[in-house]
Homo-oligomer: A and B are copies of this chain.
Amino acid sequence: MLYHIRMDVNLPADMDPEERADLLARERAYSQQAQRDGHWPHLWRVAGEFANVSVVDVADHDELHALLSGLPLFPYMDIEVTPLAVHPNKIDQ
């Protein structure tokens, strides 16, 4: 099932650089594992902002919450979830 997610990241500007680098590296690994598992089919950077627009594909709301709350950046993010249904005008491709 598909969910549209917008994530806005708010890292403190004075965060310790090493802590920051480590956090972003763990976020990267986590995100890429989820992509390889097929749970994160779309991931784009919002141009000009420390934010992304994503589409995730999970079995249900509980799996969605597990995926998102497990993000290393979760404590620093505002997250907005929108459930996506099939659009009647969508063609097969």
CB <8 Å contact, B45 and A42: no
Interface size class of A (residues with CB under 8 A): 35 or more
Cα A13 to Cα B14 with chains together (Å): 13
Q: Which secondary structure dominates where chain A touches chain B? A: mixed
Residue of B nearest to A7 (CB): B48
Give the copy number. Answer: 10
CB <8 Å contact, B45 and A84: yes
On chain B, the residues within 8 Å of A18 by CB distance are none
Q: A28-B89, A83-B3, A83-B83 are in contact. Are A47 and B61 (CB under 8 A)?
A: yes
Identify the A interface with B (CB < 8 A). Answer: 1-5, 11-13, 27-28, 31-32, 35-36, 41-50, 52-53, 55, 60-62, 64-65, 68-69, 74-76, 79, 81-91, 93
